[in-house]
Structure 1
Amino acid sequence: MNFDKNTIIGFGLLAILFFAFFWMNNQSQQEMLKQQKHVQDSIARVNALRQTQDPEAIVKDSLKQDSLIKLSTAGNFATAAIGKTSFDTVENDVMKIVFSNKGGRIESVILKNYKSYNGQQVMLGSTNDILGYNINTGNNSSANTNDLYFTPSAIIKNTDGTQTIQYTLSDGAGQSIVHSFVIQPNNYMVNWNITMQGANRLLTGNEMNFIWVDHAQQMERSAHYERITSNLCFYEGGNFDYLSSKETHQFEKPVSWFSNVQQFFNVTWVAKNDFSGGEVKWKRETDDSSKTLFTSTANLHVKIPAEASVTIPMQLYYGPNEYAILKKEAKGMDQIVNLGRSLYAFVRPINLYVIMPVFNFFAGFISNYGWVIFLLTLFIRLITSPLTYSSYLSGAKMKVLKPELDALKQKFGTDQQGFAMEQMKLYREAGVNPLGGCIPALLQVPIFFALYSFFNSNIALRGQPFLWSKDLSSYDVIARLPFSLPFNFGDHISLFTITAVLTSFFISIYNMASTPTQDNPALKYMPYIFPFMMLFFFNGMPSALTWYYTVSNTVTLILQFIIQKRIIDHDKILAKIDQKRKSPKAKTKSKWQERYEQMMESQKKVQELKERTQKKK
């Protein structure tokens, strides 16, 4: 191989480059090792020094560093950066409010008339929650009011029965913030006014930026079911809306109020002049062993006038999801009580104008809510009885026509189109509506969803015992399982669910015995299977709902026996059918029947054409 001058120079340059690279890399590694050794030696010296120091001194040094940071961010409000947390308690007839000087806010609220699943008073709010807003504390520094210590005033009892407590934050140079809380007698709503002096300097862009973090805690027996019924509600742009599965929402229109809602309680923040916008993150807890239901983090904005002195009026509601109470508060707050939403909004009028008034009427003179539900069930069955009777009458006519239908099946065999046309002709001549028996079943759909919403959200049922159920707002328990089953079954057995399932099964047996035999196996056996499928869905539901179905099914069985055995005369029905057939009107087809027969005739011709084509092949 011949090497010319240029080749030799090229190899030489490459060798120099490789040598330089490896030399520099080696130097860097050595320098890195020296630095690592220096750091390790420093850590060792610090650890050795700590071992010789008093642990209390270390803690004090850490606290000192933390205090210096707080003082730095507090700026002009440095005197409020470090302090000792103190609490003030104000009570009225229905709640006990604990205020904290740190943040000058409500720490927690105890509801006097309600107890949680563990027998303790219901408490909303906790030390882990955050409710505050950012303020400018100096040049290029800011702090959140939740981290500053306010100065509390004495509790003032006013002549109108209200009580007032104020928390003040001042920089000593004319800037101040006053949180004034007014507690009304026998009321769950607290008026909260924020007054600022020097607002144009304390806030940027004439806007308050609030942050509210709420960790809702378990109050009912089943944390899992309480999570399902919990949600986040708000009133945006003059319309009610809520989050249940969606985890984030951006507020693009003015928000009047914002509420963290549990099954029977809620904490609502009302802005009298509306929040101008913001966003919320709402996350439901997935660990069933956790006592936390969900965590809500809201960042809300309030526009204020471009003035030095401003007052921002707000309200905080800590209380029950009781329709009559919420109706009197801010507009739309009554919709926090879920009487039908979204796809099931059509049942809300049923609850508002039928079920709720009747329930309240019976509850006005009957103290036991189990018997109130019993009477409510009888009322519902009474107003639906005309349709029920027509359904049974239609079933009786179908039973009378059964021999003729069986003959038609034998005549047409596998010709389903031909059988269907003759069946329709037979029904027309006999004056039978084949859909007559479906109307009561269809009517049960809105009634079910209405009662499901009503019993799940009716706080009046909470803690009310009946028979073996200790709480009509929750499931009853007659036995515990050593394991948990899916589909809302849980680790228990509900006796009211069993009675509801068994009575549904008896209805299925009775109905199948009095209706024509089904050739379709699915339709034939489904009425027997469906009641037992209800076990998995109803076992974890409120015993009020399963008690209702037990009573309703029992009434159905009694009505079926009385109507079909004592009221409906099958011989008279057969005579009327024969008379109907002789009537000229029996030959007259309705427009729907004409279209149906035309459709069946077209299908028959298509089927015949297919069969002829297949034979030719």
Structure 2
Amino acid sequence: MKDKNLDYSSMIGLFLILLILTIFTYFNSNNNNKNKEQEKKFLKNKEFLNSKKGYFFEKEKNHFFLLENNVLRLKISNVGGMINEVLLKKYKAYDASLLHHSKNLFLIKNSSFLYKMSFSNKKGLNIDTTNLLFQPFLFENQKKRIQILIMRAKNPYGNGKGFLDYIYTIGKNNQYDIGFSVRTINFYPFKKLVSINLEQKILSLEKDRNWENSYTQVYYSVLNKNSVSVKHLSEKKTEETNISNMNWIAHKQQFFASIFVPEKKFQNIFVRSENFSSGNSLKNIQFKTLMNANKNEEIHFSFRFYFGPLDFNLLKGYKNGFENIIPFGWGFLKWINKYFFLIIFQFLEQTSLNYGVIIILMTFVVKLILYPITYKQYKLSAIMKLIRPEVEELNNKYKNNEDAFKKQKAMMELYKKVGINPMSGCISTLFQIPIFYSLFKFFPTLLNLRGKSFLWVEDLTSYDSILELPFFIPFYGNHISLLTLLYALALLVYTKLSNNEKKDISQNENGTIPDMSFILYLMPVIMLLFINSYASALSLYYFTSNIINIGFLFFIKEFMLDEKKILIKIQENKINIKKT
């Protein structure tokens, strides 16, 4: 009977154990299914919470969480709590296989952006935040229209106490900037210094890697006494520097930027920019600094991250000098681009025409504004042509070197009699040179032209190519740009026509005219070599400009200037001079 009782007891015990295990397994699997469903809803951003509630997810390596609005999508990893991807929704990256901008544009992808904090506690135990696993809490504040993601990691040496939080805040509208805060809870005591490290590999996004790399560099704003200045590292070589009183630092690409703005100025910052000659990355940029941490105080500091386009008006709206990272040129060239060309372009942009047509219209507007200078130059050339016989007479009269001063005095009296100043032509030409060169910086940095096509041109901010060459020609490249060819041809025609209208009146001591025309005819060849790889918008502008110049030449000659009237005016001036 004892054996039977033992058998019955064992059977009943086993039955109860199986029953408990079954119930436990059922509830555990049910909870897991619920967690997975919640995670899926979170990842798809289909379910939101008000500011009083939050989701909590179990730790899992290599798990990602999304924050997004109309223009940005951020993917944040629970390993290190870092931003793993930044997608710009309204822009595309260049696809070499399709020959146009069609790929999703990621400013950050596959951990190309890394940041961490390193510190140690009073026992000398080191903590590196990249080795921590973070747990997410997602909140939404409907009134402020923001989403908040808190990534929380436990203190690995805190015996279950102490937390480190990364707090990401993103607006739900068309905002390219996000808030980022770091705080500790019951995490101290620390040793004196906390190391902050940030590193980003700048990804290639455009058609021409070499051209893109020349516009990729580090900019930073510093406070010097009572003034704020914006400086930059070299775009051509690896460079490093130390910065104090930093307001912000920008990793600038040709059309986009990643800008980091600390809430409080950081001191003694080390920055290094390293160039890559190949691969998917253009540069590697490192940012390091040390921050004091008191023994009995928590860490709490904040950044703002800007991941977005180099749109002048958008950046200017932040009122922090961000717009100064757009490379409109140096000195007064920058002012010409900002307050002349940009204003004209933005005005014409409101027509919603094709951007190639807008550039052509822009050329007409600029030429009309500069028409008085063009007319004055042509009038000067016409008068110089009419008084050529008198100039030759003076050259024959004063042949000797000893008579150079008398010759110069006689020339000035002749110019005064006919009412001209030859120096005015030089001044007019010098005035147009800055306008000519400022365009070299304007079109390759104009975001609104990026990826825009016109006729056979795929992208107005890059070169157009009608034929790829199997070899490389120094200074020219390995392709043929049709717009550059058209511009060089138009410049050659204009040079020929204008050279026929004005002959060089300067002569040597023998009275012969030195042939300087070869220099003028060399210019189209130089420009053909020089701008073959430049933005096609630049070639389009210059081509249109020279066509307009040719038109002006005929219009002024046929309708504006009457040589007979000019001769009469010259004679009247001579008579008036004699009377006085």
TM-score range, shorter chain: 0.7 to 0.9
- Whether contact under 8 Å (2:75, 2:83) holds in the other structure is yes
- Whether contact under 8 Å (1:150, 1:168) holds in the other structure is yes
Deviation at 1:547, TM superposition (A): 0.8
Flag the 1:133–1:366 CA change in 2: closer, same or farther, 3 A: same
**Equivalent position to 1:491, from 455, 475, 478:** 478
**Equivalent position to 1:515, from 502, 515, 528:** 502
2:180 is matched with 192
The runs of 5 or more residues in structure 2 that have no matched partner are 1-58, 96-101, 508-512
Report the Cα distance in structure 2 between the residues aligned to 1:434 and 1:407, rounded to whole angstroms. 18
- Whether contact under 8 Å (2:244, 2:268) holds in the other structure is yes
Flag the 1:420–1:92 CA change in 2: closer, same or farther, 3 A: same
Q: SS in structure 2 opposite 1:116? A: strand
| TM-score, normalisation: structure 1 | 0.76
Report the Cα distance in structure 2 between the residues aligned to 1:301 and 1:358, rounded to whole angstroms. 46
Q: Which has the higher helix share?
A: 1
Q: Which letter does structure 2 place at the counterpart of 1:357?
A: I
Residues 61-72 of structure 1: pairs in structure 2 closer than 5 A: none
**Equivalent position to 1:391, from 370, 377, 396:** 377
Aligned length: 498
**Alignment pair present for 1:180 and 2:171:** no
Report the Cα distance in structure 2 between the residues aligned to 1:326 and 1:316, rounded to whole angstroms. 13
Deviation at 1:504, TM superposition (A): 1.3
- Whether contact under 8 Å (2:197, 2:286) holds in the other structure is yes
Q: Which letter does structure 1 place at the counterpart of 2:483?
A: F
Q: Which letter does structure 2 place at the counterpart of 1:514?
A: E
Q: SS in structure 2 opposite 1:267? A: strand
Deviations 1:62-111 (A, max 9, x none): xxxxxxxxxxxxxxxxxxxx972221122211121111122211112011
Deviations 1:540-587 (A, max 9, x none): 111111111111111111111110222111122122122212223898
Identity of aligned pairs, percent? 28
Residues 51-450 of structure 1: pairs in structure 2 closer than 5 A: 84-118=61-95, 119-126=102-109, 127-137=111-121, 139-154=123-138, 156=140, 158-171=142-155, 172-173=158-159, 174-185=161-172, 186-198=174-186, 201-202=189-190, 204-205=191-192, 207-237=193-223, 238-244=228-234, 245=236, 247-285=238-276, 287=277, 289-302=278-291, 308-329=297-318, 331-340=320-329, 344-413=330-399, 415=401, 417-418=404-405, 419-450=407-438
Q: SS in structure 1 opposite 2:345? A: helix
Report the Cα distance in structure 1 between the residues aligned to 2:340 and 2:561, rounded to whole angstroms. 31
Q: Which letter does structure 1 place at the counterpart of 2:320?
A: K
Moved more, 523-532 or 422-431: 422-431
**Equivalent position to 1:579, from 566, 572, 577:** 572
Q: SS in structure 2 opposite 1:484? A: strand
Deviation at 1:330, TM superposition (A): 5.6
Flag the 1:393–1:401 CA change in 2: closer, same or farther, 3 A: same
Deviation at 1:444, TM superposition (A): 2.3
Report the Cα distance in structure 2 between the residues aligned to 1:475 and 1:97, rounded to whole angstroms. 33
Q: Which letter does structure 2 place at the counterpart of 1:499?
A: L
Report the Cα distance in structure 2 between the residues aligned to 1:580 and 1:495, rounded to whole angstroms. 50
**Alignment pair present for 1:531 and 2:524:** yes
Deviation at 1:445, TM superposition (A): 2.0
Report the Cα distance in structure 2 between the residues aligned to 1:307 and 1:252, rounded to whole angstroms. 29
1:563 is matched with 556
Moved more, 466-475 or 298-307: 298-307
- Whether contact under 8 Å (2:84, 2:112) holds in the other structure is no
Q: Which letter does structure 2 place at the counterpart of 1:333?
A: F
Report the Cα distance in structure 1 between the residues aligned to 2:67 and 2:292, rounded to whole angstroms. 30
Report the Cα distance in structure 2 between the residues aligned to 1:509 and 1:439, rounded to whole angstroms. 23
Moved more, 159-168 or 178-187: 159-168
Q: Which letter does structure 1 place at the counterpart of 2:210?
A: H
Deviations 1:473-529 (A, max 9, x none): 111111111112233x32111111112111111121112111124668673311100
**Alignment pair present for 1:477 and 2:454:** no
2:12 is matched with none
1:549 is matched with 542
- Whether contact under 8 Å (2:244, 2:269) holds in the other structure is no
- Whether contact under 8 Å (1:132, 1:212) holds in the other structure is yes
Flag the 1:508–1:539 CA change in 2: closer, same or farther, 3 A: same
Q: Which letter does structure 2 place at the counterpart of 1:272?
A: E
Deviation at 1:443, TM superposition (A): 2.4
Flag the 1:321–1:413 CA change in 2: closer, same or farther, 3 A: same
Q: SS in structure 2 opposite 1:139? A: coil
2:53 is matched with none
Moved more, 125-134 or 457-466: 125-134
Deviation at 1:292, TM superposition (A): 2.0
Moved more, 221-230 or 193-202: 193-202
Residues 451-470 of structure 1: pairs in structure 2 closer than 5 A: 451-470=439-458
Report the Cα distance in structure 1 between the residues aligned to 2:477 and 2:132, rounded to whole angstroms. 46
Report the Cα distance in structure 2 between the residues aligned to 1:302 and 1:368, rounded to whole angstroms. 52
Report the Cα distance in structure 1 between the residues aligned to 2:140 and 2:364, rounded to whole angstroms. 53
